[in-house]
Amino acid sequence: MTSVTHSNAKMTATATTRVLGVLAIAATALMTVLGLLISPADVIQGEAVRMLYIHVPSIWIAYGAFVLTSVSSILFLRGRKRREDRGRHYDRLAGSAAEVGVVFTGITLVTGMLWGKVTWGTYWQWDARLTTTVLLFVTYLGYLALRRLPADPIVRSRRAAVMALISFVNVPIVHYSVDWWRTLHQKASLSVGRRPEITGEMYWTLLYSTLAVTIVAAWLIIHRYRVIRLEELRDEETLAALISSRLDKDDGSN
Amino acid sequence: MSEVATVVTGWGITIFVIATYSIWVVSRGKAIGQELGIGEMEQLDPRKDAGATTDL
């Protein structure tokens, strides 16, 4: 069994993450100024277009987080027999990225519903993009629930890794749903190999917002990773204490 | 709801959710760290910060 000692365990904050945290706050503040004050209103959508700068980066970050979860899960499944500690490292990374991905998918859904109300006249429509996105949210919630089920840690991590890979199948479906089916949702604002739907200040504000949200997500994933590690340490200590007390009891009765 | 009210609500919810989640993550780390007896002073030592582990 892997032993993680206190001497090499970190609290969730280090000098590096403190700098990253300050950077995340500054980047979010600038993103708010650009998105709400400097970027112009749209000719058709008016002020409602400002939802673009949180809605679109949120789903992109969620996609990225789920890619990280999948890659980490593959590395965990490949490496778990050879180097157990590295395997657990990838498992923690998968878990922390998935949780952050779920938070940003939730933000995407809520901001999309609000945006939909002013542009479509309804909060919700069971069209392909919205339905696949809510399915993505629910499947990754299931993944997070699976990680909390009581079981042997390695077995649980293996099951979670398989579940992560199954859940990831939906990510490209969500992304291409607007191309594959006729939906109420507009096509992608930015897409590789296609002329951008937006230009000028809106384009740059969207790109900057994506960068700012990426910094925030990176900070969150690093911290969540460290919290998972601390939770494992606590569980190992609790188990060791229980075994020790059981052995003491057995010695006393003999 | 007007366009401006929608935008303010959307941005407000986003910032609230991210801030709340960030505070929860940091607080949970601190609480478990204290439970395990890992001191904050240990983390202020830059030598330990630099090379303690290859993990995140």
Q: What is the pLDDT along chain A (254 residues), one digit of tens a residue?
A: 334 445 445 566 788 889 999 999 999 999 999 999 999 988 888 999 999 999 999 999 999 999 999 999 999 998 766 656 667 889 999 999 999 999 999 999 999 999 999 999 999 999 999 999 999 999 999 999 999 998 888 899 999 999 999 999 999 999 999 888 888 887 776 666 666 677 788 999 999 999 999 999 999 999 999 999 999 889 888 888 888 888 887 777 66
Residue contact A9–B21, C-beta within 8 A: no
Q: Would an 8 Å CB–CB cutoff place A80 in contact with chain B?
A: no
Helix boundaries (H) for A120-199: 128-147, 153-168, 170-180
Please report the pLDDT score of residue A247 as a whole number.
85
Question: How far is the CA of A110 from the CAs of A23, A102, A124, A136, A202, in angstroms?
Answer: 26, 12, 10, 14, 22
Q: How far apart are CA A178 and CA B37, in angstroms?
A: 52
* Structural domain includes residue A47: no
* Structural domain includes residue A31: yes
User: Are A56 and A206 in contact, with CB atoms under 8 Å apart?
Assistant: yes
- Measured between beta carbons, the chain B residues lying within 8 angstroms of A50 are 7, 11
Residue B14 phi/psi, 5° resolution?
-60, -50
Distance from CA of A253 to the nearest CA of B (A): 31
Please report the pLDDT score of residue B45 as a whole number.
44
Measured CB to CB, residues of chain B less than 8 Å from chain A are 1, 3-4, 6-7, 9-11, 13-15, 17-18, 21-22, 25-26, 28-30, 32-33, 35-38, 40, 42-43, 46, 49, 52-53, 55-56
* Structural domain includes residue A174: yes
Domain span at residue A218? 3-7+14-40+52-188+197-248
Shortest CA distance from B28: residue in chain A: A227
Shortest CA distance from A89: residue in chain B: B55
Which amino acid type is present at position A9? A
DSSP designation for A50: G
Residues near A179 by beta carbon (within 8 Å), at least 6 away in sequence: A187
- Identify which of A114, A220, A229 has the shortest CB distance to residue B9: A114
DSSP designation for A7: G
Residue contact A28–B15, C-beta within 8 A: yes
Please report the pLDDT score of residue A139 as a whole number.
97
Please report the pLDDT score of residue A6 as a whole number.
52
User: Are A246 and A93 in contact, with CB atoms under 8 Å apart?
Assistant: no
- Measured between beta carbons, the chain A residues lying within 8 angstroms of B42 are 11
Kindly tell me if the per-residue pLDDT of B34 is higher than 60: yes
Stretch B33-56: mean pLDDT? 56
Please count the structural domains in chain A.
1
Stretch B5-20: mean pLDDT? 96
Measuring CA to CA, which residue among B44, B48, B25 is closest to residue A99? Answer: B25
User: Exposed/middle/buried for A195, CB within 10 Å: 0-12, 13-18, 19+?
Assistant: exposed
Question: How far is the CA of A85 from the CAs of A70, A74, A81, A143, A191, in angstroms?
Answer: 18, 15, 10, 22, 39
Please report the pLDDT score of residue A2 as a whole number.
39
Q: Which residue has the tokens 């601390």?
A: A230
Kindly tell me if the per-residue pLDDT of B49 is higher than 60: no
* Structural domain includes residue A46: no
Beta carbons within 10 angstroms of residue A22's beta carbon: 11
